[in-house]
Structure formats: structure tokens, C-alpha cells
Amino acid sequence: MDISYILNELGEERDQYFNAVAPPIIQSSNFTFKTVAGFREALTDEFEATLYSRGQNPTLNILRKKLAALDGAEDALVFGSGIAAITVPILALLKHGDHIVSIENPYSWTIKLFNNFLSKYGISTTFVDGTDTANIEQAIQPNTRLIYLESPNTFSYDLQDLTAVAAIAKQRNIITMIDNSYCTPLYQQPIKLGIDLVAQSATKYIGGHSDVVAGVLTGSKALIKRIFDHEFLNTGAALSPHSAWLLIRGLRTLPLRLERSFETTKKIITWLKQHPRVDQVLWPFDEEFAQRELAEQQMQGCGGLFSFTLKGASIEKIEAFCNSLKHVLMAVSWGGHESLIIPAVAGVSIKDYDKQNPRHQLIRMYVGLEEPDYLIKDLEQALKSAF
């Protein structure tokens, strides 16, 4: 399906709402029935009915159609946050005694889900370095039900070979799931490579304006229905119609924003790499990146999120550099219009800081929609004032 068709037309039945170009926000909790027979039918199968907005809502359904089509998936569910889109399917598909093989250091709340939450219900997790598929294969146990991926990772940018992992999982009837927030469906379509479930934080590139928290899950209709019928309805993880409308609006410009973020990132990285203070840059499409070949094989483009380190940096120097930035904002999240920075040391208490730990040295930057020169000037003056 043509991307332009998906983003501008798919799911939009304009003759149902006065031929308005922008879809309506159906801000209604419930929907009425003319007969008991119709009411009974809806109550019997909520997946197919517009009954109550914790389940189906017409504004959300426009969004779901577009998101499923972008991923080449049969169906999509939209959640009140990205972490809900990761948590709910795992609660739905795994039970006490099951085992997960996960890549090491996934998104922070995903680690907490595995270590603190699922462990309480008897679901165990083994974390492995997923840059080598053999590590994933070796960690599989007879009770392994899920292989959890995040490619690229949003701090280390480690990749997994999605086609190879999917093949191993299929032989053993294990479900595969990936956090695809970094690439969005425009730059990576894991379902086409054999992955079963694709989760995304729509708070990032899909929303794109730092004004909505949301999550997406795509997969086969059978898996999506199974998740919807029980855990989705039971956890009440639904998104509001207004937030769904903001995501539809975000999707209209997703290709433009993503391309701009990608192009500006190339310029910023080229500049950083020639700067005498800059040591290492980590970004999947960088010439020196260890897994660049795999990145170019399975990704059609690269996001605007990367990390770098400074030569001779101490915690004080890293803090001085970040504190000196005037336009690049210090905040969590990414994928919006605004460029952001987050030094790893912000998440480390002063007493735990370890100069020898390479992860503590990382500074993560997200490149937004500003002019490249505007951002470079800001980085330049901040490096000057810190050193």
C-alpha cells in the first residue's frame, strides 16, 4: 500500500462526517443500540463492536488502520503509553512458569517490567547480548515463550539480526516481539522480516510534537484479538480519542519529520567527529559503527537519536557541557520537534559514578527539526565553555 494513501486516506470515511478533511474526535465513552438483539451481539464480541471506548472507538480505529498498514500487519492496538503496549501483550501471552529471552539493557521500564513485575508472577527472564544471534539461541529453555528484542537499542544502538532471530523462534514455536520505537515503521518493518509483534512508543516520532503519551502494538489479527479480549480490556490501557486525533495529525507529517531528523543528524555527527573534544560517536548509520552493515540491510533509514563521549571527560565536565547548552534542551523522551540531550550521568548518583564505566560517559542527543547550524553553534559554544 502506498504510504501517501495510508497517511492521507486510509480509514477515513469522510462522507460519514460532513466530508470534513480532518477526522472528528468522537469524545464519547459509550455508543447506543436500537434493539436488544444488536446490543446482545455487541456484548458478545466487543472486538467487532463499537460499544464502549475502553475497547473500540471510531477515532482510534482510523488510527489503528493506518498504523497496521504502515507495519504491513493485519491489525493494530493503540495504548495509553508505549510501556502499556509492551506490558499488556506479555501479560496476555505468558503465564506462571514461562521464560523470556530478552536483549540486555532494553528500555528502562521494560527492564523493570521483567525484573520487578513479571518475576512476581513466576515469569523469569534471561538477558543476553543480542548482537550475536547465537547468544539468543543458547539462552532458550524448554519453557521459553517469548524472545524480546529492541533494535536498535536507544542508548547503545545495539542491533539484532531480525530475520535470523525470527527463523530460530519459528522453529521452536516461540513468539518474537520487538520495540521498534527508534525506527518507526517508515525505517524498519519487522513483521515483514518474520517478527510476530511490534511495539512502539508513539510518544516519540509518531506523535512528534511532545504533547501526547501513547503506544502502538501491531501483529496478526489472531494475536491482537487475543490481547484485546482479555488483558487490554482488563487493564484499561486505552488511549483517549483526543490523543488518538493528535497521533493521526502527527502521522500526516511523519515522513517529512523523520527525513529531516535523519538528514540533520548526519550533519551534526560529521561536525562532532571532526571536533577535537569528541571521542566516540554511536549511531547505526555511522561509517565506524560496528553493526553498520546489518543496520543498512534491515533499516531503510536512521533515527535522530545517537550517543557520544567527550575526550578527557569527568562528571564535572559532562555536567558543565550540558548545563551550558542554550537551545538543546535537557529532558527525557525524544522524537519531537525539539532537540534534546540526556547525559548518562543524570541517571547516576555522584557516589556511584565510575570513570572507567563506558556507559557512564555517554551523552545521548536527539536531533529535532531546528536548523543544523543553529544546533552546531549551540554545541560549539557549550564545548568551549566546558573545557
Ligand X SMILES: *Cc1c(COP(=O)(O)O)cnc(C)c1O
Over the range 175-195, which residues count as b (16 or more CB within 10 Å of their CB) and which as e?
Answer: bbbbbbbbbbbbbbbbbebeb
CB of 180 to ligand X, least distance (A): 9
* Residue 306 touching ligand X (CB under 6 A): no
CB of 213 to ligand X, least distance (A): 5
Q: How far is residue 48 from each of residues 35, 57, 67, 103, measured CA to CA in Å?
A: 17, 11, 18, 35
- AA letter at 251: L
- Residue among 247 and 386 whose Cβ is closer to ligand X: 247
- AA letter at 271: W
Residue nearest to ligand X (CB): 82
- Residue among 105 and 203 whose Cβ is closer to ligand X: 203
CB of 267 to ligand X, least distance (A): 23
CB of 240 to ligand X, least distance (A): 14
Which among 56, 25, 64 has a CA at the least distance from the CA of 242? Answer: 25
* Residue 83 touching ligand X (CB under 6 A): yes
The CA-CA-CA angle for residues 161, 163, 167, to 5°, reads 115
Of 87, 102, 144, 154, the one binding ligand X (CB under 6 A) is 154
Rounded Cα–Cα distance for residues 153 and 175 (Å): 20
- AA letter at 233: L
- Residue among 130 and 215 whose Cβ is closer to ligand X: 215
Termini Cα distance of the chain:
52
CB of 79 to ligand X, least distance (A): 8
> Which of these ranges, 35-43, 77-85, 243-251, 264-272, lies near ligand X under the rule CB under 6 A?
77-85
User: Interface residues for ligand X in 193-232 (CB under 6 A)?
Assistant: 201, 203-204, 213, 215
- Residue among 83 and 165 whose Cβ is closer to ligand X: 83
Of 90, 92, 102, 107, the one binding ligand X (CB under 6 A) is 107
Cα torsion angle, 111, 116, 118, 123, sign: positive
Q: 145: left (phi > 0), else alpha (psi -120 to 50), else beta?
A: alpha
- Look at the block and give the residue holding cell 519529520: 257
Of 58, 82, 152, 208, the one binding ligand X (CB under 6 A) is 82
Binding mask 175-194 for ligand X (x = CB under 6 A): ----x-x-------------
Beta strands in the chain (DSSP E): 75-79, 99-103, 124-128, 144-150, 175-179, 197-201, 215-219, 278-282, 305-310, 329-330, 340-343, 363-366
Of 57, 81, 87, 218, the one binding ligand X (CB under 6 A) is 81
Exposed / middle / buried, residue 10 (Cβ in 10 Å: 0-12, 13-18, 19+): middle
> Which of these ranges, 68-76, 79-87, 120-128, 365-373, lies near ligand X under the rule CB under 6 A?
79-87
* 3-class secondary structure, 229: helix
* Residue 161 touching ligand X (CB under 6 A): no
CB of 83 to ligand X, least distance (A): 4
CB of 157 to ligand X, least distance (A): 11
CB of 58 to ligand X, least distance (A): 23
Binding site for ligand X (CB under 6 A): 81-83, 107, 154, 179, 181, 201, 203-204, 213, 215
